[in-house]
């Protein structure tokens, strides 16, 4: 019997290093990250070790991030997801319920109500779908198991831990998207720390359950990070019959081309826009072929929220449809 017990003890200790290694392999590099958080930000290593011991790696997150709709669908399919009667009517209803905060956001930040509402509609259907993953699981999975963007998500994980300490909340309690975006506004942790505002002045920046704070935070983000310009254009359909415009596509989505120059070279813009505006030129894929558009500073401000012209155009067109329906016009 004693020999059997001794043998079992030897077996357990022989495999213990393998068991520890297997745990480390779940989050490769976590020890260095914890050391950095302790040295640079004064976190308790024992508490962080306990926290990350409870993290659950989510393989389906790795699958989801490899095929986001913005990159896997053409515009005409992507558009159908967001430009629906239900989402348009939902935007009208949200606007009606939150008129005061939307009007104040426009007064303070210059951002039009329909754009704020449309972002909430695209991101979370006005707060109905804010994400079911624990943020700590999402960020840790992507920080340590997704090499293409591990640096970005390690930064977000650091920001998240700082956020929870500043807000005096348990990091296990936060839920969000598969990429770690949180609340009605779907802010990443760094965006929350930099741009979330206590718009109702109740002492807490609550983008999870408080529409007023979410509205103010989105407007603050668009103004401060995106450079939103009050009463300025967002985008306009364009045409270039017989004009070679391809070299302008290489300029990127940040407006850098004087609209006057595009017009002089034969590009036609559907809406009356001041010619001194800087613009970008881009294509959207329709079923019948590419569609040419001109984007301005406010279009780029929306792109800063999500770096995709498809996303920005979905927000813009949903905003226009919501405004039209609220005003009793056909969209």
Active site residues: 123
The pair of three-digit structure tokens given for residue 129, joined into one six-digit string: 């779908």
Asked whether the beta carbons of 204 and 261 are under 8 A apart, the reply is no
Q: How many other β-carbons are positioned within 10 Å of the β-carbon of residue 127? A: 20
SS3 163: helix
* Calpha distance 260→126 (Å, rounded): 38
The pair of three-digit structure tokens given for residue 61, joined into one six-digit string: 């997150």
Nearest of 213, 186, 185 to residue 199 by alpha carbon: 213
Q: How many other β-carbons are positioned within 10 Å of the β-carbon of residue 257? A: 17
- Specify which residues 257 forms β-bridges with: 279
Q: Would strands 235-239 and 289-295 be described as parallel, antiparallel, or unpaired?
A: antiparallel
DSSP output for 252-268: -SS--EEHHHHHHTT-E
SS3 182: strand
DSSP 57: -
Which strands, in side-by-side order, build the sheet including 289-295?
A: 257-258, 278-286, 289-295, 235-239, 268-269
CA angle at 30 for the pair 25 and 35, rounded to the nearest 5°: 150
């Amino acid at each position: 019997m004693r020999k059997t017990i001794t043998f079992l003890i030897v077996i357990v200790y022989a495999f213990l290093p393998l068991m520890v290694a297997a745990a480390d392999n779940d989050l490769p590099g976590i020890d260095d990250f914890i050391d950095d958080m302790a040295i640079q930000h004064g976190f308790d290593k024992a508490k962080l070790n306990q926290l990350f011991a409870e993290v659950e790696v989510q393989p389906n997150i790795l699958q989801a991030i490899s095929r986001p709709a913005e990159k896997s669908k053409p515009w005409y399919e992507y558009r159908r997801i967001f430009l629906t009667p239900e989402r348009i009517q939902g935007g009208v209803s949200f606007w009606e319920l939150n008129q005061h905060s939307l009007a104040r956001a426009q007064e303070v930040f210059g951002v039009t109500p329909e754009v704020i509402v449309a972002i909430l509609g695209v991101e979370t259907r006005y707060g109905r779908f804010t994400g079911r993953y624990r943020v700590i699981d999402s960020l840790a999975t992507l920080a340590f198991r997704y090499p293409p963007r591990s640096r970005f998500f390690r930064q977000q994980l650091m920001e998240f831990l700082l956020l929870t300490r500043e807000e005096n909340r348990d990091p296990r309690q936060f839920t969000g998207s598969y990429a770690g975006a949180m609340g009605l506004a779907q802010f990443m942790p760094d965006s929350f720390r930099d741009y979330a505002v206590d718009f109702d002045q109740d002492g807490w920046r609550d983008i999870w359950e408080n529409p007023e704070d979410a509205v103010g935070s989105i407007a603050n983000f668009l103004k401060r990070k995106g450079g939103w310009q009050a009463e300025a254009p967002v985008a306009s359909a364009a045409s270039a019959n017989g004009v070679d415009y391809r070299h302008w596509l290489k300029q990127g989505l940040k407006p850098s081309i004087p609209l006057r120059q595009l017009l002089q070279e034969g590009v036609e813009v559907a809406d009356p826009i001041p010619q001194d505006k800087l613009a970008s030129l881009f294509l959207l894929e329709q079923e019948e072929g590419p569609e040419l558009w001109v984007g301005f500073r406010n279009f780029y401000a929306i792109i800063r929220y999500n770096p995709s012209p498809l996303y920005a155009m979905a927000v813009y067109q949903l905003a226009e449809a919501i405004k039209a329906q609220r005003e009793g016009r056909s969209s």
